[in-house]
Structure 1
């Protein structure tokens, strides 16, 4: 008979073996399915960069980018634009004379332009509450330091640094017609703001049978606002919505109004050439940070407003691609190997 120790050892080994089988069984249960996707056996393709593939590609890029750059540059150059600075215009209201050398045909857009104004500052951009702008007046989270009025402890509406610093200059453009009688250029806010802003991002609070001022009665206007929000349309005010879409660069222009070509026959085709008088309510201070203010009259093209940067960028990339293509051809002809030479390579002999 086998010794007792041998029997115990055999029993332990048998138990360990059965546990190992169970563990292996558990591992097998968690194994991914034997599909090509899960086992990473899908067919792959890797391009081989050779002179016969790279050089034609570089020339094709240049051939595509050059005409696109030409079209974009011509489109930008066809836009008529007239800026006039009024930073130091005083006293307010002040009047500036504008002489349009050419007629501005088609739709005419009126902008205000600010320089040295950093709307992309991190703390400035974060100081807003989109939920409040949808009608929840008590929600002033992330609006500090313009969240609550320090005296009344009421929430500020609209809250935040962006809303508090809204641009509030106003303009009136008058055309000095040939008859000698000044004609005020009619303007409209239709088409100034994006539909997504108007329909989804900015909504006044519910009126509940009252008027807009009743809805705002438990709030305080921002410190820098001259008028109460309810007197200028609340959160659905066009100038407010335009200002709340912050700019990425320290010099930017924002759309103020569009010339209404349907109200007066003199402006059916746009703005005729001649003399205009711009009356400015110069309310917005920019001297403290060395800023400048402009009023801009502009048309557009199929590529947008006057901005030659994109066209020049395409032209530069296209020319660079053509030059590199010529350099690659020279290097390949001078130092490259033909396909016959590469096929005759037998390897390295030891």
Structure 2
């Protein structure tokens, strides 16, 4: 008796599914608890007895941390001098009311300057800063000199806009002779920048750094050839190339050299100082502002009370919320036994 259409179809499907079933068996994951998703699971149950102590504990922990951070920031001595509208050269009298004890750091502040602009941040070539002078990829529009068609070194918008104001600080003691405050670049840049990110090309035995840079062009805004400023290993260049995230930023310029002069062994004494600035960097076109900053540091860094205040606010808020939760729980809350009884009644 010939097979019916249904029998023939079933036979064909069985024949087609045979290899597929075997293939699925071969690819089956191992019968381990991890692969079969049989590991034990735990899910916390948020109850008043667990949430309220946690919130109060966070508040108790954050309050002393905030107090410590705030006191550390408050103990930092700092002096800001705005010289935006000063002439060139700019000579300003500074009066330090207190001694700046310990290491003293000299910064410059820039306001309303957006170093985090996407096109600005991308306009650089890290391979060139390691010694490959002809590599100007991603440096447009400051990649080649339009007059000579030579590659610009250092290339890019960040390098072209380097901050070029210079400062000189002089101490005027009462009844004494003026003394130049000694400064140093040691400790200004990060070790990773100095050792791994910025390297000059190899100098030939019979030449100098300018011989290495002779087939390149300087950035348009640089008044001096890069080879006469130390090339890629120039401290001010390395500091500037670490772009800031906010439009108001501070960059370290120099550190007072306490070892060079016994008069400044303990830092900067209070008194009168003369600040001479070569005011070269233009900021009026974008409404910017420039400041020279003299500051000490603490174990928590420079003078910035935001972090301490943030810890105090969060800690205080956590304690207040913990007390509010306790009141609500005592007045309106139910115990686990009550909840169990309610579930039993519903069943």
Same fold, judged at TM 0.5 (above): yes
Shift, 1:14, TM fit:
5.0
- Cα deviation code 1:108-135 (max 9, x no counterpart): 0000011111111111111111111111
Deviations 1:277-313 (A, max 9, x none): 0011111011111111110000000000000000000
TM-score by length of 1: 0.95
1:243 corresponds, among 228, 240, 243, to 240
TM-aligned CA deviation for residue 340 of structure 1: 2.8
Query: RMSD between aligned alpha carbons?
Result: 1.7
1:194 — aligned with what?
Answer: 190
> What SS is found at the alignment partner of 2:3?
helix
Q: How many residues align?
A: 346
**Residue matched to 2:299:** 302
Cα 1:6–1:314 change in 2 (3 A) is same
Q: TM-score, normalised by structure 2?
A: 0.96
Whole-angstrom CA distance in 2 between matches of 1:154 and 1:96:
42
Q: What is the alpha-carbon distance in structure 2 between the residues aligned to residue 337 and residue 237 of structure 1?
A: 69
Superposition deviation, residue 93 in structure 1: 1.7
Counterpart selection for 2:337 from 335, 340, 347 = 340
Moved over 3 A (4+): 5-16, 346-350
SS of 2:239's equivalent in the other structure is: helix
Partner of 1:168: 164
Alignment of 1:177-216 (within 5 A): 177-209=173-205, 210-216=207-213
Q: 1:349 to 1:279 in 2, by over 3 A?
A: closer
Partner Cα separation in structure 2 for residue 7 and residue 276 of structure 1: 110
State the match for 1:255 in structure 2.
252
- 1:242-279 CA-partner distances (Å, limit 9, x unpaired): 00011111111100000000111100000011110001
Identify the residue that residue 109 of structure 2 maps to in structure 1: 113
The reply on whether 1:287 has 2:251 as its aligned counterpart is: no
- Where structure 1 has 5 or more consecutive residues not aligned to the other structure, the ranges are none
- 1:56 and 2:53 are equivalent in the alignment: yes
Which whole-Å CA distance do the structure 2 matches of 1:50 and 1:211 have between them?
74
What is the match of residue 95 of structure 2?
99
C-alpha deviation, 1:11, in angstroms: 7.9
C-alpha offsets along residues 54-79 of structure 1, whole Å, 9 cap, x if unaligned?
00000000001111000000000000
Are positions 1:68 and 2:65 aligned together?
A: yes
Q: CA deviation at 1:207?
A: 1.7
Tell me the equivalent position of 1:41: 38
SS of 2:133 mapped into structure 1: coil
Task: Describe the shift of the 1:20–1:227 C-alpha distance in structure 2 as closer, same or farther (beyond 3 A).
Answer: same
1:333 is displaced (CA, Å) by 1.0
Could you report, residue by residue, the CA deviation over 1:10-64 in whole angstroms, capped at 9, with x for unpaired residues?
A: 7885564344222211111111111111111111111100000000000000001
Pick closer, same or farther for the CA change 1:321–1:11 going to 2, 3 Å.
closer
Q: Secondary structure at the match of 1:142?
A: coil
* 1:134 equivalent in alignment to 2:130: yes
